[in-house]
Structure 1
Amino acid sequence: EAMDQVNEIYDVARGAQPNTTLADATISMGGFPVALRDTRDYYQQDIRFIIVATLIVVLLTLMVLLRAVIAPLYLVGSVVISFFAAIGVGILTFQLILGQELHWSVPPLAFVVLVAVGADYNMLFVSRLRDESPHSVRYGVIRALGSTGGVITAAGLIFAASMGGLLFSSIGIVVQGGFVIGVGILLDTFVVRTITVPAVAALVGKANWWPSRIGPRRSAMRAPAEIA
């Protein structure tokens, strides 16, 4: 509230300048609320660039590693969805239930962390899916979930548990950050990676790997027999 009042005071002062001897004067303000306001404004300006740069770098990295265009698009999109879901849970918990304003620094920080970690988990799954789906993407989804499910789930639980430790902090920002990131990791582990990404991959089919192609591999020659 104090930071918002800084803008109101500045506007009132600027409005009183015209047609006075101070019309050309420069208005400056000092104090802790002003410093926080400036920090918030600079942070919000920088974070726009950081968010765009993060998405572009992660997307290009996935495209290079997977040698595909379609799969990286929905992988990044699924992580962004889990981020917004985590922010929604955070707003519901802190603002509507606990009556606390979600700090302005929490969403950008959570975005960078969740995109990085979520893309890493999805990359592990899709890399395995690529190896297991020369004949059938649906078969590859089943095999990939079976081989990577335990590892990714364990990693997600460990990460979320470490974020849960931040909930015992006496600093509100730390508590909010740990909660939002932890919720985002759990959503990515048990919803996005387990349900959303496999479902989209199965629906897209062979187009996942466009423009590259996947030929039959020795490890996949047993697929029809095993399914039968």
Structure 2
Amino acid sequence: MRVEIDEHGMISHARVRHARSTRIERGKRTGAITGIVVHQTDADTSASSLNSYRQPGANGAHFLIDKDGTIYQTAAIYQRTNHVGPLKARCLVIPTCKMSDFPPKVGPAEMHRIEMLKAPADRYPSNMEAIGIEMVGRARLPVGLKLAGEEATWSMARLRGEYAVFEAPTAAQNQALSWLVDAILDSMHISSSEVFRHPVVSSKNPTEAKGANWNLPPSAP
């Protein structure tokens, strides 16, 4: 289903509320948009994320989907935002390469540098090529988590980084996500194979957007 997109990259449709924050925009894209990356916010409410996007130096994605299915457009599509992070090697998954093709003990920054030397069609979409969709959802430590030894001295940030699990998106969020992804793919002529969960393309919490489903049948237009 196609939607109207203005010259700035703002969608004109009753299902999309404009909440653009230029503070998360990092300049006009210099190449084609090739994919979509689906995230979760690690926040409990849409208000907290929308407020954070208004702060100086804030990062964010192009869309935000609330738990009730409300879709906010928070950045213009034709603007780059920082939402992806260092890229993993897509060739390891296809697979057209193996780890021995990379420098020994290659880290995320070096892997990203190597990937960015490739044409967009040969790697995952980066910040320059990807549209980002955030879904409101918090990562929490499992109930009853038992800590022993050194782990008992870890900071909360470190514990969350190691053990936190993202909550499942709501049914309304997944329905809205399916509608939005379909509208973007159809309107911008992007292949359905180029939609990814954040941890697939970058080294992030593996549970982020684990329950995201953008392949539901359409509901309302």
TM range (shorter): under 0.3
TM-score, normalised on structure 2? 0.23
Larger Rg: 1
- Larger relative strand fraction: 2
- Larger relative helix fraction: 1
